Structure 1
Amino acid sequence: MTRLQGAERALFPPNAEVTPVPSMFFSHVLPEVEEAAELRIVLHVFYALRRKRVFPRFVARSELLADEVLLRGLRAGAGYAAELDQGLALALGHGLLVAVEKGAGEARDLLYFINDEDGRRTANRILAGELATPIAAVREPAATESEPLVALYEQNIGPVTPLIAEGLAEAELKYPPAWLPRAMKLAVTANVRRWSYVQAILERWHNEGMDVDEETGRDPERERLWERYVRGRDSGG
């Protein structure tokens, strides 16, 4: 009798959160990466950015130096910083990441972004002084935030067409994980159950930032003003 080989139990639960990575990474980038440290660091940057709950989203070198998850995959002890810097330098050289230098002396830090249009745009806005750069902790999302977005959309907004499914997938790559459920909740509260309304909220948060309360994760005043604005725009007023 044949038996299932491998572990006796599933490692990943049914609703485990997914960290999106562009398919091009596997087809074009992965075959060219030779150093394990570079691969671990770049994948960890994807992981860390996905869990950032504030805008702008970046990962600072100081955060990576203190990251216990990454530390387990790199050389521990005195060699950790050197291996981290080597991996980051390789990732910059291969065009996987872009970086912005902030501060000077002991306050100097490097802020890293994925080298895509969104990452480059955010980095350039920081360089231009348009965006503040607080170092925010990487947080695990709440249990409700890991609910599949398609199911969440169908329950709160309406049927998911192929076009909306594509939009949800793109938004999941572009925005922090807490934003989409929160934007859908605002759409329900405003009784404007349309994907265009959800998109407008996400774009506004992306372009202007979203100041959230650390305990509740909400900014009621901004939400109220934005709801009023979008209602007036949609009604032609």
Structure 2
Amino acid sequence: MVAFTLAAWLVALGSLPRLCLATGHPTLQFDPNTISPCLEWENNAHNLVCEEVRRYWNITALEFSRWNPSVGQNCQPWIAASYCVAPLERVPSSATTSQTTTTTKTTATTSTHTLGPSPISWTARGCYLDGVANEPVLERRISSQGGDAALTITKCKDSCYKSFFVFAGVRAGNECHCGSYVAGEWALNATECNAPCSGNRTETCGGTGRLNVFKALESEAIPTTSSRTGAIQTTTATR
């Protein structure tokens, strides 16, 4: 088993004292052309200095601009946004891969995990502005382009959870959107989400350019097991 983990690599990567921390997902607007997948993001909400961010993460000007195409090698333009500082391609294989080989003549049991049942409990996150095409509040639209003629909030929640998303959002009365994180800002007034749901007009499903967002209170994953007896050799690798 390789002991050097991704977390250890990220800690070792930074070399200067600082007041802010990177996150595993963007919390602000970001360039849709940013390199993907990205493991760590710097969120420039507190007047960070571009050159200091690059120096802290030991990133060259050329690398930073390639990962974040909206920023030139001269650090311009530099706005309040989220920037990728640790794409998957930069991570050493030893930090993301673990391998175990076992040979035995006993009963072997393997376990896998499946998504638990759709949760009964969801928390409302509020009414969000959602009017910029390249900067959606939730990353994926589940409903068809013409909208869902029978949309309800429960139906959207179930669709998102079954697609392995923990955030669900309803928009314009007939649209369902899902995401693994929430971007954007709240509307000035929650009453701006005022469109009746197409499948239940007693419910409110967002509005024009407005999204009602909900978060699942996740259930435990359900393990499934299988067994066999004999000489086995197993190798697992995770990246």
TM-score of the aligned structures, taking structure 1 as reference length: 0.29
> Greater share of strand residues, 1 or 2?
2
Bigger radius of gyration? 2
TM-score of the aligned structures, taking structure 2 as reference length: 0.29
Q: Higher relative contact order by CA 8 Å / sep ≥ 6: 1 or 2?
A: 2
